[in-house]
Amino acid sequence: MDLRDFYSRLSVDESLAEVMGYNPYYQKIDSGLNARILVNGHEMIDLASNNYLGLAADNRVKQAAMEAIKKYGVSLCGTPIATGYIDLFQRLEKKLSHFVGLEETIILPSCYQANNGLFNCIAGPKDLIIVDRLVHSSLIEGIKSTGSKIRPFLHNNLEHLEGILQRSIGYRQVFVVTESVFSTEGSIAPFKEIVQLCEKYEAMPIIDDSHGIGVLGKSGRGILEEQRIAGYRGIYTASLGKAIANSGGMISGEKKLINYLKYYCSHLVYSTALTPAVLAGISEVLDIIHSEFSEIKEKLINKQRQIYKALLEGGFKVVSSEAPINSIQTGSKEATFILNRKLYEKGILSTPFIEPAVPINEGRVRLIASVSLSQDTVDEAVAIIKRIGHS
């Protein structure tokens, strides 16, 4: 045994960044999500963050967070099962449950932990998990940890999914896992039909609504409201760090499931609870969505459409999307880095996706136009995109 051998196995392949002379990851951000963002000391247009509704720097949200700090301090220094389960935490669980229309909710430090911790509790080697081939890595890693049989189905392909369900006999439980909005391209799952298939074949549906909560639906309540899914008896997870503009993750469902997870989900039981400031911030965002969603959503869609139109006029190959995400199909990882660098050099921060985040040669560059962007900023972004496309 030699420690040199151990460390030699920990090398990171940075050859692409070296060849390109550019690494888009772990950029140093010198500001909050204001009108412009400071990246490595340079002012840029932020089309990269998931701050859909523009509420991350809203003064009302910041004030709610500060008031919580005054009352509770910066942390309860304990897990929810111990000293972290303050009244603010309990009220937010009920508020989130009411918001998405499900019986009960638990709140974890991140949706990554929610998706990882969930599957360990509910599935094992005797079960089958059928999963959309494009779901987020947090779902994949959670699924792999169970030892269950795993079968992917073609992206949003109901016929392929039903064929697998028809052949899935002899398992203790069959689960069907998907996302509401697929973050790399903005496609939306036909979840109502997936739920109907699950009811037909007695499977358990699981939906990750991370990019849908606060965005989809008449009042921003997510995929269940958007697709008018009443009496949902499946499992629901979502991030509280995107449109909800804070951090954390949630799992919602029937009371019996959530009560079980409260004691057996290790990612909840052994993780320090979300800070009071974050809990209060989430609660304030939900109140803003309740009173102002129609107006905010109109602004969001308007900005998204302006960017989409500019991309088309610039000759980019853009994925058609019903969600407020503009995703450029770039193909190879080299082409993805090149386009991301061009945008960066002209003052636009975007998000590149290469393998393993997406399949090989299915690279994407994603642009999200937050409501917080002024019209002048959007106009500038549109002009930059067109110039890059025509260069």
- Distance between CA 29 and CA 9 in Å, rounded? 30
- Distance between CA 267 and CA 335 in Å, rounded? 38
Q: What is the pLDDT of residues 82-132, one digit of tens each?
A: 999 999 999 999 999 999 999 999 999 999 999 999 999 999 999 999 999
pLDDT number for residue 357: 87
DSSP-derived 3-state class of residue 367: strand
| CB within 8 Å of 239: residues ≥ 6 apart | 110, 111, 210, 211, 213, 248, 249
Q: What is the pLDDT of residues 300-330, one digit of tens each?
A: 999 999 999 999 999 999 998 889 999 999 9
- Distance between CA 389 and CA 274 in Å, rounded? 43
Return the domain boundaries, the chain: 3-57+292-390, 76-274
Q: Quick one: average pLDDT of 195-215? A: 98
Per-residue pLDDT band at 35 (split at 50, 70, 90): confident
- Distance between CA 312 and CA 297 in Å, rounded? 22
β-pair type (249-253, 104-108): antiparallel
Residue with token string 């937050």: 370
DSSP-derived 3-state class of residue 373: coil
Q: What is the pLDDT of residues 183-192, one digit of tens each?
A: 999 999 999 9
Q: Quick one: average pLDDT of 22-28? A: 94
pLDDT number for residue 269: 97
Sheet with 42-46: strands ordered across: 37-39, 42-46, 348-349
Percent of the chain whose pLDDT exceeds 70 = 100
- Distance between CA 77 and CA 2 in Å, rounded? 38
User: Model pTM?
Assistant: 0.95
Helices (H), 35-169: 59-72, 87-100, 111-122, 137-144, 158-167
In this structure, CATH architecture of domain 3-57+292-390? Alpha-Beta Complex (3.90)
* Angle formed at CA 357 by CA 347 and CA 223, multiple of 5 degrees: 90
Q: What is the 3-state secondary structure (H, E, C) of 198-261?
A: HHHHCCEEEEECCCCCCCCCCCCCCHHHHCCCCCCCCEEEEECCCCCCCCCEEEEECHHHHHHH
Terminal Cα distance for the chain, rounded: 55
Domain 76-274 classified CATH 3.40.640.10?
A: yes
Q: Look up residue 198 and give its amino acid.
A: C
- Is 180 a residue whose pLDDT tops 70? yes
- Distance between CA 178 and CA 133 in Å, rounded? 9
Long-range contacts for 296-303 (Cβ within 8 Å, ≥24 apart)? Answer: 296/53, 296/54, 296/371, 297/215, 297/220, 299/371, 300/52, 300/53, 300/215, 300/324, 300/369, 300/370, 300/371, 303/369, 303/370, 303/371, 303/373, 303/378
Note whether 367 and 314 are within 8 A (CB).
no
**What one-character-per-residue DSSP string does 309-342 give?**
HHHHHTT--B---SSS-EEEEEESHHHHHHHHHH
Nearest Cα neighbor of 247 from 370, 116, 113 is 113
Q: What is the pLDDT of residues 258-311, one digit of tens each?
A: 999 999 999 999 999 999 999 999 999 999 999 999 999 999 999 999 999 999
Per-residue pLDDT band at 205 (split at 50, 70, 90): very high
pLDDT number for residue 321: 86
Residue with token string 């409501």: 371
pLDDT number for residue 1: 66
DSSP-derived 3-state class of residue 268: helix
Mean pLDDT of the chain: 96
Q: What is the pLDDT of residues 328-339, one digit of tens each?
A: 999 999 999 999
pLDDT number for residue 384: 98
